[in-house]
Chain A
Amino acid sequence: MSSDLSTLSLRKREEKDMADRHSWILDSRECHKLHCAAPKPTTSADFLAVKCVDIRKGNHGAPKWLIPWGRDRCASIRGFEEAASQEIYANDIVFSVHIPFQGQEMSPWFQFMLIILQLDIAFKLNNYIEDNAIVTLDVAMAYRDELSDPWTELARSVEQRKLQCAFHAPKTADNQGRSYECDVLPLIELGSVAHKYYLVNIRLPVHNVKKINMGIGEINDLHLVTIFQNGGFTKVWFAMKTFLTPSILIIMIWYWRRITMMTRSPVLLEKIIFALGISMTFINLPVEWFSIGFNWTWMLLFGDIRQGLFYVMLLSFWIIFCGEHMMDQSERNRISVYWKQVVPIAFGSCCLFIFDMCERGVQLKNPFYSIWTTDVGAELAMAFIIVAGICACLYFLFLCFMVYQVFRNISGKQSSLPAMSKARRLHYEGLIFRFKFLMIITLACAALTTVFFITTQVSEGNWKWGEYNIELNSAFFTGIYGMWNLYVFALMFLYAPSHKNYGDDQTNGGAAVSSAEELQLTTTITHADGPTELYRLAGKEAQE
């Protein structure tokens, strides 16, 4: 599945989708104009900071924004050799970056913006990077929506980042002027791109006594790399969500109606499937449409929470599904029976939630914040992630053990099947079929997800296919998302209880079924459509 194809299919769907008709037409025109060029999910743009000179002495008064180019551009220097001869000091130099480039505008369709700092530091014998060097940045960010507007401050902070640089040549006089290889430093994370123009001003203040910005080498250049979601991808994504929401919602309503039509109250497995449907709908709900009109910076965090909820539901579903197909005679049907498996899920997801609140939650207040920049924070974050990892391992151990148990019981039951009464045998055959069926599609989905994930990590993600330039990453994201939606859809569709056949048979012709069997059959029953056929046949034969 590629996003080319999805944009194409979106064009076909546009007639049906009256609500968003206008935007689809717009989409398809764009698609035509771009020859259906599929955009990557995200773009990065590299901005080289212009070295502005703040000519006001003393740096007092209202903050002044220095713009790298355009009509009111700042007085700038090309290199720092110039500064030395002009008696300009470090505190007067402001690295200025205007996002985006000339003639372009940012747009809410970009959804989020991450800004990463890259320093180009040269080695000098008398000015090298000391061990554990920390660079102190005085960062300020501003925005405006019209080129003639004044700049409005968005955030301002003094941030410290650890310099992790390596010099791969011997530190001799010969190699002076060669560059260090430095790790990138995360600088800003914005959860929404509500404005058209952004400006970042960075100072590297030097203080002799406080040892601020001493021993950080000779900084020659400063780059800001900006990462944001592509507008085109956002549109495809929104379209997909808008289409998927009603389809999952409709099947959910149908499924719940089937359950309420039953004379008994819903069993645990039915409830968890319904909960899975709800969490899928929760992800699908295209609330992101609002981010186009409103400046909702919490969208990133909200998205994380929604995904987290879905994972919790999916993992719990797998456990409960295995448990309900255990086919031993014990009564389950209560969530408390599964506490051993559910506790790791809950605990692990809580850990990740706290971690996420510490990172993206705090970023709502201070976009420069990152938990990884301080030693304590990094250790804490690492601890959360490790605990979550242990929980995940525990969970999978439990899950594998349960799957093993089910298979052991299945083989045990299969050997004794011929000796059973017909209804009972068909019941077990149905259970086995259902379990194996779900095992297969779950494994297939998981395998596909893993393969896609590895491919996106390894490859550059660009395939030429005839005239089309297929963007693998976009295709994978939409493909995987669609696949899991289909998975949930199929679960509700296939595992909805049958309202006509078996229940009636049980009440009418129940004489054939012993009371012990009856108990077990009612506790574990949710019939799939596939097996329903089986049951119907079984019921008829049993009556005869």
Chain B
Amino acid sequence: MPAGLHLFLAALPLLTLLGQPVDAYFGLTSKESLSHYTSPSTATGSNHNRPHLKQCDLLPLTRRQKRLCRKEPGLAEALKEAVRLGIVECQYQLRSERWNCSLQGRGSLLKRGFKETAFLYAVSSAALTHSLAKACSGGKMERCTCDDSPGLESQRAWQWGVCGDNLRHSTRFLQNFLGQRKGGRDMRAKVDLHNTNAGIKAVKSGLKTTCKCHGVSGSCAVRTCWKQLSPFHETGALLKAKYDNAVKVLGATNEAVGGHESLGHSFAGRSPRSTDLVYLEDSPSFCRASRFSPGTTGRVCFRETTCDSLCCGRGYNTQSRMVTFSCHCQVHWCCHVECQKCVQQQDTYTCKQ
């Protein structure tokens, strides 16, 4: 986790609860404060008899989600990891945008239909899909791939060989968990649902198929292929590209038409594909502090590239100081770095008020 995030979170006041969550969303799109997710985990080594029950109670979940959480001991941990992953990736991808995925003002954003809202929904569901699949392959969950075959013990299905892959399981579970099987009530709900699905699709499209031959003498007469999750950074980069090319759809509520079809109209002329991010209204500038964001005052920028857009034409302060940093490092693959200390003059640019 970047050090800046810690500082930021420390300064972040607890968000006020915006009433009981109506939607069954979770993670970055949950209406509750997220600050406790980013604190270091304390779960390992707990002496509690069934520690996951307590963790499920601590998470901001609806009643149905809590029930699902209690049934699966590894889920609470995976959900927490998903939120952490989502926040880190969101802030990394938008580090040089005016809205840098600051958690402050997230509640107000979620009530509207901006591009940023779309990104929050997509990144959140992508992170959930990714970390659920990862928790499955890490052996942290008890009900994973073999859960799909109803009316059959998991052990039987496993031995017979009809268990699916982790990703299919996590997608299906997620759709159940987020409670979004049927279309939403209004346009906003539909847009949110669309963006959530776009997040899941982004993870799926990043899958890489790898094969291994193991026929007679290792020939390719018999071949087994499997799908491999790409690192979440890649998914984040894909979603960032989708965010930059998000499609605006007409805001008129169209209750007569159900499902995704009602998203068929857009200003850009092309109808949004299921992998596109869609939004309803143009974003505010995010330049000044508002209920959506803390503004760009005091943001660090790069003079050549980002300062103009980031500071909204207000100009920037230049600060020059001597910085000590590690250099000529010799790094081993894990955990061990031998560095020298170098000193360099460094200019920092921050946006003016």
The answer to whether A and B assemble together is yes
Interface residues of A (CB under 8 A from B): 30, 33-34, 37, 39-48, 50, 68-69, 75-76, 78, 80-81, 83-84, 88-90, 93, 97-98, 100-105, 107, 109-110, 114, 116, 118, 120, 122, 124, 126-127, 177-179, 181, 184, 186, 204, 206, 213-214, 216-220, 223, 225, 227, 230-233, 303-304, 307-308, 352, 355-356, 359-360, 453, 456-457, 460, 477
Report Cα–Cα, A16/B159, bound state, in Å: 26
Cβ A213 vs Cβ B138 within 8 A: no
Q: Which of B21-29, B219-227, B253-261 contacts A (4 or more CB under 8 A)?
A: B219-227
Residues of A within 8 A of B218 (CB): 359
B267 contacts chain A at the CB level, 8 A cutoff = no
Complex formed: what's the CA distance from A69 to B157 in Å? 22
A126, B144: Cβ atoms closer than 8 Å: no
Other A-B contacts than A39-B160, A101-B145, 15 sampled, CB-CB below 8 A, are: A33-B151, A37-B162, A42-B214, A75-B44, A90-B333, A90-B334, A101-B139, A103-B155, A114-B214, A206-B333, A220-B231, A225-B210, A233-B161, A303-B216, A359-B217
* Contact across chains for A304 and B216 when beta carbons are under 8 A apart: yes
Say yes or no: B161 contacts A90, CB within 8 Å.
no
Most chain B CB within 10 A, of A43, A177, A457, is at: A43
- List residues of chain B with CB within 8 A of the CB of A104: 146, 154-155, 158
Closest B residue to A90 by CB, please name it.
B334
- Check B212 for interface membership: any CB of A closer than 8 A: yes
Asked whether, in the complex, the Cβ of B226 is within 8 Å of the Cβ of A44, the reply is yes
Contact A232 B335 (CB under 8 A): no
Which B residues are in CB contact (< 8 Å) with A43? Answer: 161, 163, 224
Give which listed residue, B141, B163, B214, contacts A227 with CB less than 8 A: B214
Q: Does B41 contact A (CB under 8 A)?
A: yes
Contacts of A227 in B (CB 8 A): 212, 214, 224
Contacts of B149 in A (CB 8 A): 34, 37
Known interface pairs A178-B233, A304-B217; A30-B156 also in contact (CB < 8 Å): yes
Contact partner of B226 (CB less than 8 A), chosen from A46, A68, A80, is A46
The residue on A at minimum CB distance from B331 is A127
Which of A214, A456, A457 lies in contact with B332, CB distance below 8 A? A214
Q: How far is the CA of A78 from the CA of B155 in the complex (A)?
A: 29
Q: Are A48 and B217 in contact (CB under 8 A)?
A: no
List chain B residues, Cβ under 8 A from A83. 334-335
Report the nearest A residue to B326, measured CB to CB.
A126
Interface bin, chain B: 35 or more
Decide: A308 and B216 in contact? CB cutoff 8 A: yes
Distance in Å: Cβ of B281 to nearest Cβ of chain A: 32
Q: Which positions 269-297 of chain B face chain A at CB distance < 8 Å?
A: none
**Distance, CA A114 to CA B329, complexed state (A):** 39
Compute how far the CA of A251 lies from the CA of B332 in the bound complex, rounded to whole angstroms.
Answer: 67
B336 touches A231 (CB 8 A): no
The smallest C-beta distance from A461 to any residue of chain B, in angstroms, reads 9
Task: List the B side residues contacting A184 at CB < 8 Å.
Answer: 210, 212
CB distance from A104 to the nearest CB of B (A): 5
Residue of chain A at shortest CB distance from B218: A359
What residues of chain A lie closer than 8 Å to B231, measured between beta carbons?
Answer: 120, 122, 178-179, 220
B14 within 8 A of A: no
Please give, as numbers and ranges, the residues of chain B lying within 8 Å of A97 by CB-CB distance: 139
State A88–B142 Cα separation when bound (angstroms): 30
A42 x B224 contact (CB < 8 A)? yes
Q: B143, B145, B156, B335: which contacts A84 (Cβ < 8 A)?
A: B335
Contact A89 B333 (CB under 8 A): no
**A-side contacts of B333, CB under 8 Å:** 90, 127, 204, 206, 213, 216-219
Question: Are B139 and A39 within 8 A (Cβ)?
Answer: no
A63 to B341, CA, bound (A): 40
Q: B92 to nearest A CB, angstroms?
A: 9
| B146 neighbours in A (Cβ, 8 Å) | 104
